[in-house]
Amino acid sequence: MLVLEREIDEELVMVVPPSSTATIIRQKIVSIRGGLKVRIGTTAPSETVIHRREIYDEIEEQKAVAATRLAGKGAGKDATATVPADSKFTADQRRG
């Protein structure tokens, strides 16, 4: 189980790859701290990507920058953009 802590108005983003079977994601409130933070436990299939919203937004921004670079270099429209290797994200996050 992955346990993340969030404050009021902060979000989690779950990206579930398409599949032929139903995807079950379970979330459980693990604890509430000081009335301001909630700890959420998430159980999901291993291929499910879960990010804090601010990290997801940064990954998407870096993908857009990479796509712009590819487009500027004359890459075909079928080219796949990935997060640049020099980014601060781990290899698993770059696959995103």
- pLDDT tens digits, residue range 57-70? 999 999 999 999 88
User: How high is the mean pLDDT of the chain?
Assistant: 78
8 Å CB contact between 4 and 28: no
User: In 33-74, which ranges are continuous DSSP H helix?
Assistant: 53-72
The pTM of the full predicted model, rounded to 2 decimals, is 0.56
**And the tokens for 93?**
């996050």
**And the tokens for 27?**
């979330």
For residue 61, the model assigns a pLDDT of 94
For residue 58, the model assigns a pLDDT of 94
8 Å CB contact between 30 and 39: yes
Q: How far apart are CA 48 and CA 75, in angstroms?
A: 29
Residue 54 pLDDT exceeds 80? yes
